[in-house]
Chain A
Amino acid sequence: MNLEAKIHIKLHWDGRRICRAELRPRPLVRATEVVRGKPAGQAAAVIPMLFSICGKAQGAAAAVALAFAQGGEPTHTAKWERLVLAEALQELLWRFLLDLPKVMGGQGNAALLASLRKSLAQAAAGQDEATWQTFAAQAETALSQAILAMPVADWRKLTDLEQLSEWLHRSDTETARNLLELWNGAGRWGDGGAVLMPSASRERILNEVLPGLESDENFAQRPHWQGRVMETGSLARMQTHPVLVQLLRQEGASILARFLARLFEMVELLDWLRKPAAKPHWVQGAALGQGIGLAWVQTARGLLLHRAELDGQGDVVDYRIVAPTEWNFHPAGSCVKALTGNPATSADEARRSAELLVQALDPCVAYTIEVEHA
């Protein structure tokens, strides 16, 4: 078994269009196999060590779920929240500085991303206000100069598609050029009909998500919201932004909408990093009963769930993790449905359109795409 197993997408192409798409989810290592029998404290250390992609979010979720399972209240949630927000901002910058350029045939800016990662590592290690503000200032400079080509304050004033179009046509950054290509047609598709996940309030998580997590043994691999396939991530969280409201009304959850949502969200993340909210809202959890704790944490890719169950001695008897990639790459989700019927005049075009959609949905693992001539 390959532990870093890939998502596999198979396209059936008939010479004119993708007539069918299939998605085989990555095989999952069950978290419970890794930590069963370990004391809660040890499990809290092991989980982020092993599930280290979005490691800050995994660490936060483990700390919160296990604290509630132990009958207590999680400590340091404000510290965790800031780490999770910073990690998400870094991940979103990664999409624009490396991943989108790569899929669009450009160069990207790995040196700038490396410099931002160094600054974030210093802030995370120091945990003092000055280093956090330094990281936020550096991230804002990167955003305004390398991505937006305008001050962040001006970007915040962008509220309709006409202004967006003006920005796309006059800005000369690699991101703006890539987004203009998406605007001109390459990214005006991609709605697979999956519902955008509503905000993860305590009531919704406990009443509408938890029952599935607790009763459906396949939930971690094929999660659902009361039976419905959902899309999570920046577009779901930012779906009420005025520009995205207009775009969603016009063309649904397109590739362009997904990338734009990340740009709008990065500005929000910067604000929260500079001045954290009084009450954490990206790192949350609840006690579910004797020995059971739940955490729901937002990441760049979307909702992350951890459910921990301890025995009377405080050792783990069950541990479940549901990652955002499983929501967004559900075999009956947006990816498969959006690809089905998509026109493609060559096998290569079919493959490239699938690659673009996959990048827009942003899996945390590698993927393969196979094209079969139907």
Chain B
Amino acid sequence: MCMAIPSRIVELAGEMATVEAFGELRSISLMLMNDEVALGDYVLVQAGGFAYDRVEHQVAQEALLILGRVIGLPQA
């Protein structure tokens, strides 16, 4: 509910990017981003496919760890 999973940028192409979260890839738009982003950065993506926020690595990894636990992924 109302969740946006921190998604890691794996490819950049101008105002578009490919992001990955829990093994799923998707293409997103960076047009609404306030911050510059680079490969490896984590972003939050709205339902329409627009990234809307950059998330610090540590915060993103903490969120992914909690979410991974909720969906039953093996923990490191």
Select B47's contact among A110, A220, A363, beta carbons within 8 Å: A363
Contact pick for B46, options A26, A46, A53, A111, CB 8 Å: A53
In the complex, are the beta carbons of A46 and B66 less than 8 A apart?
A: yes
In chain B, positions 1-34 with a C-beta closer than 8 Å to chain A are 1-5, 22, 24, 29, 31-34
Task: Indicate which residue in A29, A117, A323, A363 contacts B52 across the interface (CB closer than 8 Å).
Answer: A117
**Chain A residues near B46 (CB, 8 Å)?**
53
Chain B residues with Cβ under 8 A from A1's Cβ? 71-72
**Given A46-B66, A50-B67, A220 and B1 contact (CB-CB distance below 8 Å):** yes
Report yes or no: B2 in contact with A49, Cβ–Cβ below 8 A: no
Interface positions, chain A 25-80, Cβ under 8 Å from B, are 26, 28-29, 31, 33-34, 46, 49-55, 58
Question: In the complex, what distance in Å separates the CA atom of A31 from the CA atom of B46?
Answer: 20
Min C-beta distance of A135 to chain B, whole Å? 13
Q: Which residues of A contact B32 (CB under 8 A)?
A: 110, 113-114, 117
Report Cα–Cα, A31/B33, bound state, in Å: 27
Enumerate chain A residues within 8 angstroms of B34, measured Cβ to Cβ: 114, 117-118, 121
Q: A99-B48, A114-B31, A117-B34 are in contact. Are A26 and B62 (CB under 8 A)?
A: no
A283 to B31, CA, bound (A): 30
Q: Which residues of A (317-374) have their CB < 8 Å from a CB of B?
A: 321, 323, 325-326, 363-367
- Are A49 and B63 in contact, CB atoms less than 8 angstroms apart? yes
**Chain B residues closer than 8 Å to A3, beta-carbon distance:** 3, 5, 22, 67, 70-71
B32-76 at interface with A (beta carbon < 8 Å): 32-34, 44, 46-48, 50, 52-53, 59, 62-63, 66-67, 70-72
Task: Knowing A49-B59, A117-B34 are in contact, say whether A366-B47 is a contact too (CB < 8 A).
Answer: yes
**How many whole Å from A131's CB to the nearest CB in chain B?**
14
A28 to B2: give the CA distance in the assembly, Å.
9
On whether A53 and B2 interact (CB within 8 A), knowing A3-B22, A3-B67, A98-B48, the answer reads yes
What is the CB-to-nearest-CB distance from A308 to chain B, in angstroms, rounded to a whole number? 16
B2–A51 contact, CB under 8 A?
yes
Majority secondary structure, B binding face: loop
Chain A residues within 8 Å of B47, by CB: 53, 363-367
- Residues in A neighbouring B31, C-beta threshold 8 A: 110-111, 114
Q: A3-B22, A46-B66 are in contact. Are A325 and B2 (CB under 8 A)?
A: yes
Which of under 10, 10 to 19, 20 to 34, or 35 or more describes the interface residues of A?
A: 35 or more
Bound-state CA distance A51–B46 (Å) is 12
Among B3, B22, B33, B48, the residue within 8 A (CB) of A29 is B3
Chain A contacts for B53, CB-based, 8 A: 52, 55
Q: How far is the CA of A271 from the CA of B17 in the complex (A)?
A: 37
- A29 neighbours in B (Cβ, 8 Å): 1, 3, 67, 70
Pair B70/A49 contact, Cβ less than 8 Å = no
Q: A52-B53, A117-B34 are in contact. Are A34 and B1 (CB under 8 A)?
A: no
What is the CA–CA distance of A220 and B32 in the complex, to the nearest angstrom?
31
Q: How far is the CA of A348 from the CA of B12 in the complex (A)?
A: 34
Nearest A-chain residue to B59, judged by Cβ: A49
In this assembly, does A4 line the interface, its C-beta being within 8 Å of a C-beta of chain B? yes
Give bound CA distance, A31 to B66, whole Å.
Answer: 11
Q: What CA separation (Å) do A117 and B46 show in the bound complex?
A: 14
Nearest 5 interchain pairs by C-beta: A366-B47, A53-B2, A51-B2, A110-B31, A28-B1
Interchain residue pairs with CB less than 8 A apart (20) = A3-B70, A4-B4, A28-B1, A29-B70, A33-B70, A49-B63, A51-B3, A52-B2, A55-B53, A98-B48, A99-B48, A113-B32, A114-B33, A114-B34, A117-B52, A121-B34, A323-B1, A326-B1, A365-B2, A365-B47
Contacts A52-B53, A118-B34 aside, 7 further interface pairs with beta carbons under 8 A come to: A3-B3, A3-B71, A4-B4, A26-B1, A33-B70, A50-B67, A323-B2
